[in-house]
Amino acid sequence: MPVRLDRNSADFARQFADFLGAKREVSADIEAATRAIVDDVAARGDAALIEATRKFDRLELDASGLRVTSGEIDAAMKACDAGTLEALAFARDRIELFHRRQLPKDERFTDALGVELGWRWSAIDAVGLYVPGGTAAYPSSVLMNAVPARVAGVARVVMVVPSPDGKLNPLVLAAAHLGGVSEIYRVGGAQAVAALAYGTATIAPVAKIVGPGNAYVAAAKRLVFGKVGIDMIAGPSEVLVIADHTGNAGWIAADLLAQAEHDVNAQSILITDSKALADDVERAVESQLATLPRADIARASWDQFGAIILVKSLEEAVPLANAIAAEHLEIMTSDPEALSAQIRNAGAIFLGPHTPEAIGDYVGGSNHVLPTARSARFSSGLGVLDFMKRTSILKCGPDQLRALGPAAMTLGKAEGLDAHARSVGLRLNLS
């Protein structure tokens, strides 16, 4: 059974604080083990990578076998169902159209003093894309990471994907092909992250690593952060549904379960001002669970982390939603836009009854890599800007230096940095 909270119970503040503070994922202390793997690959390159792959993926390779060949990719494309390939291509096109709008503009202007200022955006040269193996190998995630990178203009998109016992998911290879991935290597875990960060004889290093992975992958990304850039550390997924009496209980239940089926640590939350809807949703969840293939996972998530929060009015839902800062927020009320306008913290908002989150997961066009575990308070979903960087530009002539120089010299001296002041003063014959 999910927890039930009532916004207007005497003890709500404490209960809600506990609810927000509850950890859904216990991070084991695997840093030492991860560091050993990363250091080994950094020091010994391919040899260490191959040994780790033998040990963790039970796969015997030599360096020439690390890279997935174009023949294998062609074969994978042929092995996939045509309808599924078509859906992937449809998703790819929509993701591309959406993300093209995120391409930033350069800026260059001259201010009142004649100083030229601005900035220039450029793509990162090479990016690594981590793709998990096994059951969590999602072709849609390959597209969500690779397409924005290509839209940004990244020349080299390098995918790593573990191949336990030699198995690769053909749909993942197909998505990589459709998404414009440049190179694919059949390695995973901390060893793959290290290979991307430090490079080996076979795998040239990249400048940034993105994509989800298990705890070892996350720990390895933390360790190489600084040497290369990384995206967010993804946590378990969550959905928050805000609904009033107009909500369809069956549809809401289906959306809560779509979240819950991801992972036992996923979280599904309903906030409603309708006790009747709350009861109906809870019954519908039970009924739908009966016929769900991944019912065990979904039930574990719903029982352990699911929540229904009753409020007196939808106004009361706003501060709660902003505190929860959900990765996915569905609004199914009589005026979803009005409520949405009051939301500050959410990874993505799905408006109205005909926008189930699953549309955004696959074919809406927006990115499904979104901030989890309340990190929407301070971070954004993946996008084109994550694959670019900005160089600022400053240009003075003699007149501008005369206008700005004295203040710079004053501040340099005030900070005890005389060489700073002197670098200006020399040019102005002031030192």
Q: Among residue numbers 195 through 234, which ones bind its own copies (CB under 8 A)? A: 207-208, 222, 225-226, 228-229, 233
At 266, list the tokens.
């996923």
With contacts defined by CB under 8 A, name the span among 44-52, 59-67, 186-194, 250-258 that binds its own copies: 250-258
β-pairing verdict for 267-272 and 307-310: parallel
Q: Is residue 7 within 8 Å of residue 309, measured between CB atoms?
A: yes
Residues sharing a CB contact under 8 Å with residue 120, sequence separation 6 or more, in sequence order: 106, 390, 391, 393
CA–CA–CA angle 53, 221, 152 (5° rounding) = 105
Judge whether 259 is annotated as a binding position. Answer: yes
User: Is residue 131 part of the contact set for its own copies (CB under 8 A)?
Assistant: no
Q: Is 177 a catalytic residue?
A: no
Judge whether 102 is annotated as a binding position. Answer: no
At 247, list the tokens.
């909500």
Residue placing its CB nearer to its own copies in the complex, 4 or 94: 94
Which one of 16, 19, 130, 138 is in contact with its own copies (CB under 8 A)?
Answer: 138
Residue placing its CB nearer to its own copies in the complex, 61 or 241: 241
Q: Is residue 260 within 8 Å of residue 302, measured between CB atoms?
A: yes
User: Is residue 397 part of the contact set for its own copies (CB under 8 A)?
Assistant: yes
Judge whether 262 is annotated as a binding position. Answer: yes
3-state secondary structure of 126: strand
- The catalytic position among 282, 327, 330, 357 is 327
Cα–Cα distance, 200 to 192 (Å, whole number) = 10
| Nearest distance in Å: CB 354, its own copies | 4
| Nearest distance in Å: CB 363, its own copies | 5
User: Is residue 350 part of the contact set for its own copies (CB under 8 A)?
Assistant: yes
Q: Please report where in the chains the tokens 């080299």 appear, as a residue.
A: 156
Cα–Cα distance, 404 to 418 (Å, whole number) = 17
Judge whether 361 is annotated as a binding position. Answer: yes
- The catalytic position among 328, 330, 357, 368 is 328
From 326, 377, 372, 335, select the one nearest 353 (Cα to Cα). Answer: 335
* Residues of this chain, 324-343, that bind its own copies according to CB under 8 A: 336, 340, 343
With contacts defined by CB under 8 A, name the span among 44-52, 157-165, 313-321, 386-394 that binds its own copies: 386-394
Which one of 254, 300, 304, 316 is in contact with its own copies (CB under 8 A)?
Answer: 254
* Strand ranges, E, within 8-139: 107-110, 116-123, 126-130
Q: Is residue 404 within 8 Å of residue 113, measured between CB atoms?
A: yes
Residues sharing a CB contact under 8 Å with residue 18, sequence separation 6 or more, in sequence order: none
Judge whether 420 is annotated as a binding position. Answer: yes
Q: Is residue 271 within 8 Å of residue 240, measured between CB atoms?
A: yes
* Residues of this chain, 351-370, that bind its own copies according to CB under 8 A: 351-367, 370
Q: What is the DSSP letter of 228?
A: B
Angle between helices 170-179 and 139-152 (to 10 degrees): 20
* Residues of this chain, 89-118, that bind its own copies according to CB under 8 A: 90-91, 94, 97-98, 101, 107, 109, 111, 115-117
User: Is residue 344 part of the contact set for its own copies (CB under 8 A)?
Assistant: yes
- Between 283 and 312, how does the x/- string for binding to its own copies read (CB under 8 A)? -----x---xxx---x--------------
Size of residue set near its own copies by CB under 8 A = 122
Q: Is 327 a catalytic residue?
A: yes
Could you list the active site residues? 327-328
